[in-house]
Amino acid sequence: MDVEQGLSLMPAQPLLILPVANFFKGQSIAAYDPRAMQGNAVTYATSPMGADHTAGNVVGEYLTQALDPLKSDGQVEASRNMQIAMAAVDCTGMCLLASFAMTTPEGGAAFLNAQVFLRGTAAPSQYRYCHQ
């Protein structure tokens, strides 16, 4: 078959292709498909932000095998806890990625000390209240 023959076999009008996307509250889903991660489905359904994985992503629970992503057991609680934690991070004005440093006692203490120092509520020599 020649190239010309192949082109002549193509339809005269292009096929109509409709975009398909899943949405939660007007926001399309990013990389975390809720069909494979039920905790994220709970987050998408209950979060004011819709399909925003940063509102309460529970993928860490799956990676540590604390939860089975395909079973409903514990998904609501994990989603709720992560949404509360992310709301706290949002209130600090901190980037989500930087907030992971606060998951250690040393990181949390350093963050609190920096906040106290930057707000001028204590002199630099007095801001050791978080250190033991």
State the pLDDT confidence band at 69, using cuts at 50, 70 and 90. Answer: very high
d(CA 123, CA 70): 51
Tokens of 2: 């020649």
Q: What pLDDT score was predicted for residue 110?
A: 83
Does residue 60 carry a pLDDT above 60? yes
Over residues 83-112, the pLDDT tens digits come to 998 888 888 777 777 777 777 788 878 877
Q: How far apart are CA 113 and CA 62, in angstroms?
A: 32
Share of the chain above pLDDT 90, in %: 19
Find all residues with CB under 8 Å of 54, minimum gap 6, and list them. Answer: 86, 96
Give the tokens for residue 109. Answer: 């203490």
Give the model confidence (pLDDT) of 40-56 as tens digits: 989 988 888 778 888 88
Please check the confidence at residue 131 and state whether its pLDDT lies above 60: no
pLDDT at residue 31 greater than cutoff 80:
no
86, 56 contact by CB (below 8 A): yes
